[in-house]
Structure 1
């Protein structure tokens, strides 16, 4: 497929995903034929062979593109980059599985659902955070003071999102089960409406939505995911992109640039918060609050990361949300680890 056709297809898939994709759909449409089989990375090619490559990158508002542009790391790429906007991680996993995007950064939970569905993706990079921006919010008038107080209540949450994983882990911590609460699966925009109108009692969500609700509506933090969930973000790549020598070379360069951009944001929080707020179109106070707790520097994709994700996978299996039997490690590819380490160490 030509770069122009791929770019158009990406935007079409993204639009459909925003409107209709569910995690159940992901599980139902992905083939289970040797999806977790690993192949050797193709040899890197020279930059002059990348002029015809277009990387199709899935993004979320204020995410990868905004960060790369603000830091200047998108300048001078020897390949083209086409960004498509998604509302959350699950449809990004679906698009990567279909080969319609080459790469995307998601929260910690969408790759888990991808693993359960034998999605044709690999996790190729990881970004760490203390998860303090992932919160369960309640209205300003709520009398709830602990997560256990939500027993019998309605919680809005995006299915297959990092917030979904957060809720399951909070249930475990409180000694509750899914039968003790009513999960209302909604994407962020609809969840915000339901929460504001009182149709749900709580909202499990991530920044910047957390910060917006706190700044604009005075929403209260019932609990955060800090110390409960791992807070990781993951770079996922389509197997198709990883198997192509030129695209794989461009992807390594892109992942390195993203790691450098993340380091820049951590070193320049005020400048990044302003750029982020402008990119998302939110109150600068909300942007500053969100980015003050949502920096995600790149780290090594090592055994401790994989083990933490396997724990999250097992929590979803125990909750009956996904089938068991797969290992998260089988969907991890560390081919970019050395390049990322070298780039971030030299900064």
Structure 2
């Protein structure tokens, strides 16, 4: 697994552990068991020397680096070359990862697959319907112009990922069920969906990122289109296994990481030209035009001080997925660690983003 490492600044901080439960826990990058932090105990304020976090957040890693936030950490952070729900979940299962960056479906899926996790940071998009992450790609020549038109169509479907949940939500919005369409299981990585649409392997598929303008540019002349789905698809979360959050040193480090994560988002928005050039062009190999499209389509990040509305929306998604997949219903509240609820917003209110 490829990764880059940033060594701590050797700042010694004694940790105030608060209420500690009896027990032992060992997490990624920490071979020495420590007394476990009770689930309801206050978060430690200080990070002990020698603490390390392994984080899977490939894109935002660069924002943390470019903004200078990485240099401020009082712990060691290793960025793993991992993204997406399936990869993150497997890394959690192998105890090789402490924190992952995903949408709203992987935290649900992790509970259904026996790896309890908690959300520690949440980000959304201001004006989310006009700054949607996905559009529905329509195969060349297929007469789909509204959600109702997907009846009877072959639709790309990726269980356990945001794209898969979006498909189920689209069907629900259109008054349809899985029985009314043919779901074709395909991984949503890279340009798999765009290629499947072009070859008519599927007729409808959720496209995201630069795949949206690229698909239109490449296949519009053949009759390919994209249409809006009209639903919110903007959740972005940091989440961690409950075993990691039970480690008092890591729990404190995650608190510090979440604050830096929020400030780095504001840095991205304040420095769009630098972000496009350094990340999208030089790091990802995209064109400046692609980078500008991505920045403009993303809009402004909404990092709320309370998760109440987010939890309610998450519950609606859980209820729909449980019904459609046959999985056991969950309480959305149980997916969130409220001790971190205001950490990101507090960091922004305190300033410090450069």
TM-score interval for Structure 1 and Structure 2 normalised by the shorter chain: 0.7 to 0.9
Preserved CA contact (<8 Å) 1:277 1:288: no
1:272 paired residue among 268, 272, 275:
275
Q: Measured at CA, do residues 342 and 79 of structure 1 come closer, stay the same or move farther in structure 2, by a change above 3 Å? A: same
* Cα distance between partner residues in 2 of 1:306 and 1:191: 30
1:341 paired residue among 334, 341, 345:
345
* Cα distance between partner residues in 1 of 2:288 and 2:225: 19
* Structure 1 residue 209 corresponds to structure 2 residue 214: no
Q: Measured at CA, do residues 133 and 45 of structure 1 come closer, stay the same or move farther in structure 2, by a change above 3 Å? A: closer
**Which residue is 2:313 aligned to?**
308
Structure 1 residue runs of 5 or longer lacking an equivalent are 1-6, 8-37
1:227-246 to 2 correspondences below 5 Å: 228-246=231-249
* Cα distance between partner residues in 2 of 1:208 and 1:40: 42
* Cα distance between partner residues in 2 of 1:211 and 1:168: 24
Preserved CA contact (<8 Å) 2:139 2:202: no
* Cα distance between partner residues in 1 of 2:157 and 2:292: 24
**Which residue is 1:25 aligned to?**
none
User: Highest CA radius of gyration, 1 or 2?
Assistant: 2
* Structure 1 residue 284 corresponds to structure 2 residue 288: yes
Alpha-carbon distance, 1:174 to partner? 0.9
Q: Measured at CA, do residues 83 and 330 of structure 1 come closer, stay the same or move farther in structure 2, by a change above 3 Å? A: same
Count of aligned pairs:
306
* Cα distance between partner residues in 1 of 2:208 and 2:317: 17
* Cα distance between partner residues in 2 of 1:273 and 1:156: 30
Preserved CA contact (<8 Å) 2:121 2:239: yes
1:72 paired residue among 68, 71, 95:
68
* Cα distance between partner residues in 1 of 2:66 and 2:106: 26
Q: Measured at CA, do residues 270 and 216 of structure 1 come closer, stay the same or move farther in structure 2, by a change above 3 Å? A: farther
Alpha-carbon distance, 1:108 to partner? 1.7
* Cα distance between partner residues in 2 of 1:310 and 1:162: 15
* Cα distance between partner residues in 2 of 1:194 and 1:230: 22
Alpha-carbon distance, 1:107 to partner? 0.9
Alpha-carbon distance, 1:85 to partner? 2.6
**Which residue is 1:10 aligned to?**
none
1:84-103 to 2 correspondences below 5 Å: 84-103=80-99
**Which residue is 2:100 aligned to?**
104
TM-score by length of 2: 0.78
Alpha-carbon distance, 1:98 to partner? 4.3
Backbone CA RMSD of aligned residues: 2.6
* Cα distance between partner residues in 2 of 1:198 and 1:106: 29
**Which residue is 1:332 aligned to?**
336
Structure 2 residue runs of 5 or longer lacking an equivalent are 6-37
Preserved CA contact (<8 Å) 1:126 1:301: no
Residues 104-159 of structure 1: per-residue CA shift (max 9 Å, x gap):
11012211222333422111110012151212112454432112222221122332
Residues 145-184 of structure 1: per-residue CA shift (max 9 Å, x gap):
1122222211223322111121111111111111111222
